[in-house]
Structure 1
Amino acid sequence: MDSLTKKTLDVSRNLTYTYYHHPPAQPENPTVLCIHGFPDEAAEWADLATTHLIPAGYGVIAVDCLGYAGTSKPLDPALYAFEHMTKDLSEILDNEKLEKVISLGHDWGCALAQRFYNYYPERVLGLVMVNVSYNAPGDQPFNLGATNEMTTKFFGYPAFAYWYLLSSQDGYKTLDANISGVFDVLHGTPDSWLQTVCAPDGLKNFLTENKSQATESYATAPMREAFISRFSRDGFAAPSCWYKATVNNHQSFEAAKVKKSVVEVPSLFVGFASDKVCRPEAIGMAVMKGLLPKLTNVTLEGGHWGLHANADKFGKTVVEWLKKEL
């Protein structure tokens, strides 16, 4: 991220955000707002930004999301409601005098990127969804048990089994106690997720039994060291609030609050064929409902962090779409 300028901003709800900015090569070129997921930081976008977006002339804003790295880490899940975090993002854009951006996100950041469009459609030129299929704002409470029953019916396993630990009151303590094990689980082979992330108590048992496993080749020793250093300092209490906010229904009943549910701007979905949680075929539901009339749907090889495992192809896919659609 050395080629981007690191900045901080105190937003109106008395929280501080850290973000990284690089202006576009020409004022008329769009800027891509890059939003990371769990449990990453703005640096997740280093390759996309420095190898692909900036050389192609696009501007970049990469945010340390609420609860992570250089940004405030409140422990009240209600503060992580999308209606509040999208307002934070709008204030960051105001600070950079940017009226409109491409909203791009991975994992939880993809959910936030989607909601940024839903709440602020007038500020979004295009939507890029990485791994997480479009989920329109709803008007019903979230039910984790029902969600896992549904995924078991369709996929043969409870894809969100790990949510029970991450959304529990003290679940973050289990992660804090074995940070290296968390790294092993998240960056293990996609098939290993069926025994850890997507198995009842799989994540909890792996961590409490101090297990370890091989990770994919992109997960280098420096990447592990940086991860361990960051979470030894910051812990998982704040990042777990993203899960608690949904399970405790701080994200429910958004349908009455947002401005748009149908994505009327060009959209790109980049799914990864071996992702066991965010199955790429799930985008079909939103397509069937007519929610993505301008969608480009691409499936690449890789698992949940396919944007690292297949980084060059991912970056080229995003830039090619930008050049074609915007």
Structure 2
Amino acid sequence: MDFKQTKTQRGFTYSYHFAPAASGKPTFLFSHGFPTPAYVWRKQIVFFESLGFGIVAPDLLGYGGTDKPTDPKAYVGSGLAQDIVDLLDKEGVEKVIGVGHDWGSRVVSRIANYHPERLVGCAFLGVGYGPPASRYADPIAQSAQIKEAVGYDVLAYMQYFIEPDAHVLMEKNFDSFFSLLFPVPKSESQPEDVWLENMCAAGKAKEWIVANKTTGLPPYMTFEASRSDKEYYRKALSQEGGLCAPLCWYKVLVDNYNAEDDSKIPESAYVLNKPVLFIAFNKDPIGLPMFGMATHAAFVKPESNLTNKAVEGDHWAVMSHADELNKLLLEWTEGLKL
């Protein structure tokens, strides 16, 4: 992947992959999450570029070749959305199909709230639309309510991720961090459900890293391929600014200024009136399909604008089920008749 750089109105330098669209083809904005720079989209980028689609795939704030501020205030939704609009303006791209995964769905959500005219549609993969916080909505404070609804603490890992020095040990014990974030699926040879038993249980994520626990590699990473992938992440996350900045994506949510920033959005902009594709990842214990389904039922209008699909993958289905996801995204996009 080749990257360009530009400075946004907020003064941040962004690194991004760009490919212009062929005549008559729309442009995709691929918005990644934690802890993956734009590199996580490589299988989507190769597929859609080969078909003539335009691509804008930034390393979002805190990642890769993009600036890495460590003040959580830099990660408020209005600022992140404006940064992306600045990239589009730089390349003369008027409208895009926003595609979000993990925290990238929050960026697409805020573009939809603040700059709906720049979107022809939204595709949320695994993690759905994130409506604005109408009041102070610390997600950790909601853990008990979520636990009652689903039977376990979906957000337990956040308690560790927001600790001031969490990044230090994560970087030191990188192999352990990598094993925790990219888990081997539960099987006869791997009896532990790594995320359910460690990310979704109080104190267990920290215990995993402190103990420097490691596992094998997930099956979507063959030895040769994953060795280069893992080294890419090692360099990006432990040698080029580390994890302090990426973890700010979590820290901003537990500070009041996130809700204060969201309060700028008028309630009339909460509803998505563009075509929306939601692809649920049925084996993700954190990004549960029920969350996206409920949110989209409430905020996507009219109902005919919503298309629901699913794949039998975990949180990293963008890699493990790339061919299936690409096909679903292509079929939906072609159905828009742009």
Give the TM-score band, short-chain normalised: over 0.9
Kindly indicate whether residue 212 of structure 2 is the aligned counterpart of residue 213 of structure 1: no
Q: Is the alpha carbon distance of 1:208 and 1:311 closer, same or farther for their aligned partners in structure 2, counting shifts above 3 Å?
A: same
Q: 1:275 aligns with which of 271, 281, 284?
A: 284
How far apart are 1:290 and its partner, in Å? 4.5
After TM superposition, list the pairs within 5 Å mapping 1:1-326 onto structure 2. 1=1, 5-26=2-23, 28-51=24-47, 53-190=48-185, 191-219=193-221, 220-233=226-239, 234-253=241-260, 254-257=262-265, 260-292=269-301, 293=303, 294-325=305-336, 326=338
Q: Percent identity?
A: 32
How far apart are 1:229 and its partner, in Å? 2.1
Q: Is the alpha carbon distance of 1:145 and 1:38 closer, same or farther for their aligned partners in structure 2, counting shifts above 3 Å?
A: closer
Aligned residue pairs, count: 321
Quick one: distance in 1 between partners of 2:159 and 2:115? 31
Unaligned runs of 5+ in 1: none
Contact 1:181–1:211 (Cα < 8 Å) also in 2? yes
Letter in 2 for 1:61: V
Deviations 1:244-289 (A, max 9, x none): 1111133214144256211111011111110011001212222432
Quick one: distance in 2 between partners of 1:239 and 1:287? 27
How far apart are 1:291 and its partner, in Å? 2.9
Quick one: distance in 2 between partners of 1:303 and 1:221? 21
Quick one: distance in 1 between partners of 2:153 and 2:331? 35
Worse-superposed segment, 282-291 or 201-210? 282-291
Q: For 1:195, what is the secondary structure of its paired residue?
A: helix
Quick one: distance in 2 between partners of 1:128 and 1:116? 13
Q: Is the alpha carbon distance of 1:144 and 1:117 closer, same or farther for their aligned partners in structure 2, counting shifts above 3 Å?
A: closer
Q: For 2:200, what is the secondary structure of its paired residue?
A: coil
Q: Is the alpha carbon distance of 1:144 and 1:235 closer, same or farther for their aligned partners in structure 2, counting shifts above 3 Å?
A: same
Worse-superposed segment, 7-16 or 210-219? 210-219
Q: For 2:208, what is the secondary structure of its paired residue?
A: helix
TM-score normalized by the length of structure 1: 0.94
Deviations 1:156-197 (A, max 9, x none): 111111111111222222212211111101111353201221
Quick one: distance in 1 between partners of 2:8 and 2:129? 27
How far apart are 1:55 and its partner, in Å? 2.3
Q: Deviating runs (4+, > 6 A) in structure 1?
A: none
Q: For 1:102, what is the secondary structure of its paired residue?
A: strand
Q: Is the alpha carbon distance of 1:57 and 1:176 closer, same or farther for their aligned partners in structure 2, counting shifts above 3 Å?
A: same
Q: For 1:211, what is the secondary structure of its paired residue?
A: coil
Contact 1:174–1:204 (Cα < 8 Å) also in 2? no
Letter in 1 for 2:249: W
Worse-superposed segment, 299-308 or 276-285? 276-285
Contact 1:56–1:319 (Cα < 8 Å) also in 2? no
Quick one: distance in 2 between partners of 1:223 and 1:188? 14
Worse-superposed segment, 102-111 or 139-148? 139-148
Worse-superposed segment, 174-183 or 13-22? 174-183
